[in-house]
Amino acid sequence: MSAFLSRAGNHRFVRSVAAVCCGVLLSIVGVHAQDSNDKSNPHYESKFDEGNTDGWSHKNIVSVGGRKLAWLGEFNKEKVTLTANKLPKHKFVKLEFDLAILKSWGGHAGGHHADVPDLLTLSVVGGPQLMHASFGNGSAHRQSFPDDFQFGDRPARHGATQTDNADFLRLDNGNDGGNAVYRIAFIFPHDKDDLQIVLQASLKEALPANLSIRNESWAIGSVRVSAMAEPTKLSDDEFKKLWAQLAKPEGMDGFNAMWRLVGGGEATVAQIAKQWKAETTPANEKALRARFDEVLANLGSEKFATREKAQEELMAMDPKVLPWIREALAKHKDDAELSSRLERSVAAFEKRSVAKTVDYRAIRLHRLLSVVGTKHAKKLQATIPAPTKVKPKAPPVRPVPRPFPGRFPDFIPRP
């Protein structure tokens, strides 16, 4: 991995070798030191650059210019498995790795062709499916990662720790598809002596076998399997931080929070149940009305700063206040500024109700509770509304030239 990372973006680096090495060391420490309560016991760590492929179904190591990289691959649609035997006694497993998405992956929407989705699935034999996500490398493509396919829609390469690595670009063969590297970590229940992980891509572009890997491929590196004797204990403050991150639509925070919560096991399920109940209990309407009246009064304040703050507070209130806003608008129609602020609020609330934002917390709660899989987790999952599938953002429409009568358009050869 160090050989790979130290060359990242080498055409832009003008720093000393020592600085690069320090950056690599810090990035690795940052990955493994995310959770101060992590009591995992490393059982397997890959050493592909040394030619060690023990436990893997495929033995091909990525080479550039006769030099072996710390990556296993390239792969196209093959089923790739890792088998780790004789794990120490444990209740959970932590799986960490770098994933390289190489060349022209098309995500699930956008781009020039309809040969999508391009997906990568990772499953535990006899256990849960950990990932079933779409990835894209083109600027117009959309991908679901870090969430699963149909439950996320983001720009291509979202969440990548590195893009367009120089070594991987040499594998492109003029494809110009680029590449993106992701650092991924899962924690999941597991207590058996042996562990088998399966990775497989579903790539829709139909090409002969000898050409497909030149068009779309993937590789895996820096793999680490750790046995966890006990679930991770989360303090109330740690849980609240992860709970907040669970709702984040962008970045890797929500994804990482979800899998850390999985690692908390039954104790964390109890924390989730308590928090979910507190947040979904209907608000006291009398208290809500009193707060609304206070905000409305501040909207008419003589101080501009007070009016601005009240506007922000109104927009953050429960949608149940919408009828009261309309009522206030009719009552204060002669006050130009107040009615303008209320009109903007009505429009915003109505737009919010028509085009609801994606509830990533609900999506991830369903996901993590299904992975925990205990009786308590399944019971709680049944009380949470099923997440709706996310519609991909429409790609920009390209205008089609229209020929003038009596002449050939420029893009059609003349006879």
Q: CB-based contacts of 237: which residues, under 8 Å, 6+ apart?
A: none
Nearest to 104, CA basis, from 55, 173, 195, 160: 173
Q: Is 399 a member of any domain?
A: no
Residues in the chain: 415
Q: Is 175 a member of any domain?
A: yes
Report pLDDT for 2: 36
Could you give the number of structural domains in the chain? 2
CA distance 117 to 141: 10
Q: Is 46 a member of any domain?
A: yes
Residue 81: CATH number of its domain: 2.60.120.260
pLDDT digits (tens, 9 = 90+) for 365-392: 999 999 999 999 999 999 888 888 887 7
CA distance 160 to 36: 24
pLDDT digits (tens, 9 = 90+) for 100-157: 999 989 999 876 656 789 999 999 999 999 999 999 998 889 999 999 999 999 999 9
Domain around 187:
37-230
- If asked whether residues 182 and 193 sit together in one domain, one would say yes
Q: Is 325 a member of any domain?
A: yes
Q: Is 266 a member of any domain?
A: yes
- If asked whether residues 347 and 359 sit together in one domain, one would say yes
Nearest to 283, CA basis, from 319, 251, 252: 319
pLDDT digits (tens, 9 = 90+) for 14-25: 333 333 343 333
CA distance 204 to 409: 33
Q: Is 154 a member of any domain?
A: yes
